[in-house]
């Protein structure tokens, strides 16, 4: 993802969670946003994140 406001937006997960691997986020305002509705784990592995405001 390139030149966006938010690269990955997670608004709720199952109890098993979710995993992102090898994602490339470049020149975004926010790299990864996880809301309080996410009760399971959010795993980020091998990702490149370039964000101007907050990476995660």
Query: For each of the chain's 56 residues, which pLDDT tens digit applies?
Result: 899 999 999 998 888 999 999 999 999 999 999 998 888 999 999 999 999 998 88
Q: Which of 6, 21, 10 is nearest to 53 (CA)?
A: 6
pTM of the model: 0.83
Handedness of CA 41, 42, 47, 53 (dihedral sign): negative
């Amino acid at each position: 993802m390139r030149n966006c406001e938010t690269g990955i937006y997670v608004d709720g997960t199952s109890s098993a969670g979710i995993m992102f691997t090898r994602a490339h986020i470049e020149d975004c305002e926010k790299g990864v946003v996880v809301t309080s509705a996410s009760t399971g784990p959010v795993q980020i592995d091998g990702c490149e994140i370039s964000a101007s405001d907050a990476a995660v």
